[in-house]
Amino acid sequence: MEVQTQRIQLFGENHPFQLECGAELSPLHVAYETYGELNEDGDNAILICHALSGDAHAAGAAHINDEVLSQIPFYKTMKPGQSGWWDGMIGSGRAFDTDKYFVISSNILGSCYGTTGPTDINPLNNRSWQADFPTITVRDIVKVQHVLLQKLSVKKILSISGGSLGGMQALEWSIMYPDFVKSIIPIATAARHSAWGVGFNHLARQAVMSDAAWQGGFYDEQPAKGLSLARQIGMISYRTDISFQKRFGRERLENEKDYLEAGNLFQSESYLNYQGQKLVNRFDANSLVTISRIIDLHDVSRGRGELTEVMKTIEAKALCIGIDTDILYPAHEQQTIAEMLTNAQYFEIRSADGHDAFLIEFDQLSRAITPFLDSVSQEK
Ligand code: COA
């Protein structure tokens, strides 16, 4: 299945998009991909929501050409034919079965992958927004997705799923558009971001901002060292001691070299360096700062009342998924989310890979999601 990311303008000069913070965005573009066909009733749609550094390319083989690159320059490291980040979950016969469902994956506000964000032009001064990009919330992201879905003629969403920030979007959707959403599958996420999670994001932002190249967020060249360090801090929180030990043990880059030589990195160091550089090559530092802030501000109860009362109002059927080794969004937090909801079931993935298991353990995810979607789609 070859897919090309679409980029469309949803809001323009005469009809700007109003953000929660009071600022307006115009024009506002959204990048998205779709897989499968919408049925006549417009009610077999499933929305897939990505996490912090994700993009709209969730499934299939990427179709990368000059046109795509001119619209989404940060796709420069995406190889033609590259599989989407949830390819193991979306497709014919997979959990999000494109023979049955119309699957939509959209890139979020604040990102650098085709939806309006800090790398886009601020019409007020014709320069990139960079650090002037306004504060965004998950509610803003959901509002934009709602407009996109209406444009795609979706009448009702069968399910909304995503891990991490993706799960936050699913929860917000079920509160903001209760009549539109039949079910949600939040994975390894939060109803409101924890103090622990804010702490990790704070470290990441501090790493970016302490790089001299950051220049208050108005840089010509990416603050590469800071961005790399931010990713490395993130990676530690996405994995576990067990997975690091299993993968790297005490291996060095050159085991036969002098044990005491400082330049002879441990494989664990080498892995983190690699992951840091990989993000520097494919992501924007202001987007990382913006989106980590979106996550920290996430709280479904904000302005709505007590958290437990707000969660009780969610009518959408829910499958809440936790990961037994997740240190960032622990399994007990997912269980609590399920307990607060009125119509929820809980499933736990077993994995050594911690939070990242939602991007790895496709068999276990599918075992829970396939029957859940079958039952939701059979309900009238
Ligand atoms: N030194 C240097 N590089 C190393 C290494 C070492 N000791 N060990 C592995 N690598 C490199 C591999 O060569 C490979 O490179 P490639 O991606 O260019 O092919 C990469 O690290 C593999 O990463 P790994 O984490 O081992 O892959 P995985 O299969 O366990 O996980 C993903 C797959 C998609 C989850 C992971 O690659 C990823 O992108 N994680 C993103 C983290 C994230 O955003 N999580 C969500 C947060 S909300």
Is the full-model pTM beyond 0.95?
yes
Could you read off the pLDDT of 328-337 as tens digits, one per residue? 999 999 999 9
287 with 51: CB under 8 angstroms? no
**Centre of ligand 1 from the C-alpha of residue 348, in Å:** 23
DSSP-assigned states of every residue in 75-99: GGGPPTTPBPTTTTTEETTSSEETT
Q: Which of 296, 326, 353, 356 is catalytic?
A: 326
Distance of alpha carbon 351 from alpha carbon 238, whole angstroms: 12
Distance of alpha carbon 308 from alpha carbon 23, whole angstroms: 31
**Centre of ligand 1 from the C-alpha of residue 276, in Å:** 10
**Centre of ligand 1 from the C-alpha of residue 366, in Å:** 22
**Centre of ligand 1 from the C-alpha of residue 275, in Å:** 7
Q: What is the pLDDT of residue 285?
A: 98
Note if 355 is an active site residue.
yes
Note if 43 is an active site residue.
no
6: Cβ–Cβ under 8 A, 6 or more apart, which residues?
Answer: 31, 32, 33, 34
Q: What is the pLDDT of residue 305?
A: 98
Distance of alpha carbon 118 from alpha carbon 114, whole angstroms: 11
Average pLDDT over residues 61-82: 94
Q: Which of 53, 106, 128, 164 is catalytic?
A: 164
Ligand 1 close to Cβ of residue 168 (< 6 A): no
Ligand 1 close to Cβ of residue 351 (< 6 A): no
pLDDT of 380 higher than 80: no
361 with 244: CB under 8 angstroms? no
Note if 326 is an active site residue.
yes
- When pLDDT is cut at 50, 70 and 90, the band that residue 256 belongs to is confident
Q: What is the pLDDT of residue 258?
A: 85
Could you read off the pLDDT of 200-254 as tens digits, one per residue? 999 999 999 999 999 999 999 999 999 999 999 999 999 999 999 999 999 999 9
Pairing of the two strands 127-128 and 344-349: unpaired
